[in-house]
Amino acid sequence: MGNKDTSFSGKYLIHCRATFMDLSVPRIMGIVNVTPDSFYEGSQTMQEEAVMKQADRMVCEGVDIVDVGGYSSRPGAEHISQQEELSRLLPALEKIRAAYPDLILSVDTFRPEVARIVVEDYDVDIINDISAGEMGPSMFETIADLNVPYIMMHMKGTPQNMKEKAHYQEMMKEITRYFSARVDGLRRLGVKDIILDPGFGFGKTIDHNYQLLSRLEELKIFGLPLMVGLSRKSMIYKVLNVSPDQALNGTTVLNTLALERGANLLRVHDVKQAREIITLKDKMERSAGSVE
């Protein structure tokens, strides 16, 4: 993994698998939850056969990154031990990596020791941390040592209490200050490959989430790529009065709006539909720029 400043030529480049991925071109991260209690039943893949079926489908549908998580971060989720998290993650990572040696793999964890194990022993490329180092105090130093891209998310509180923490004076200013301090801390350690996730649904009400989406472009001030995770969340299905498994159409709408507002990476359960958004958006932009 490189540790170079790749924010040049107006591009967002991260160094993965001995090459660069350009995130100025919208990319797709597919979600593989090896947990028993994901809010979206379709993403629960505890069994190895189910994990591979989901990974195979995502690869066929054009995924760019597969993100594997063993710790449920839904509101009020049970806190599990590091040993339990690893027991869920490692068999899945082993299977996926064996089948797809060149696939970019991310692991969703806030624990520095889990990050170290999956990168050093299971060839994981990216660490995706919902707590931006808050729940694992040595995470920034670990990322600097491992020299891998780091996704850090804004969250108030923890998955266990974030619903009660959803209070802001000025939300966008608070999120900006939050990222500013953490980006500075990472830069001081020499970390260059940073992706920001504003944390839709994490310590935010439904109204907060829509305000955040409407003002997403303000976070481009950091000159870093933005990841959004809107897929089948309550900000969609509660507004539409449907269940998570009926929230795909709403997800597609909000992912389209997010791309229009500067999102670079879509974290999704449904890769095919996300790929269609990007394909159609690209076609429109190319056609608009063509001269007859």
Select which of 182, 233, 261, 275 is catalytic. 233
Specify whether 233 is catalytic: yes
Select which of 267, 272, 275, 281 is catalytic. 267
The residues, ordered by sequence, that sit 6+ positions from 221 with a Cβ below 8 Å of its Cβ are 176
Nearest to 67 by CA among 105, 35, 94: 105
Specify whether 267 is catalytic: yes
What three-state secondary structure class fits 10? Answer: coil
Helix (H) or strand (E) holding 127: strand 126-129
Name residue, tokens 């907060």. Answer: 208
Distance CA 200, CA 89 (A): 24
CB 220 within 8 A of CB 28: no
Residue 145, token pair as written in the block: 């040592």
The residues, ordered by sequence, that sit 6+ positions from 143 with a Cβ below 8 Å of its Cβ are 115, 127, 150, 186, 189, 191
Strands 13-16 and 19-22: antiparallel
Distance CA 92, CA 111 (A): 18
Helix (H) or strand (E) holding 109: none
List the catalytic residues. Answer: 233, 267
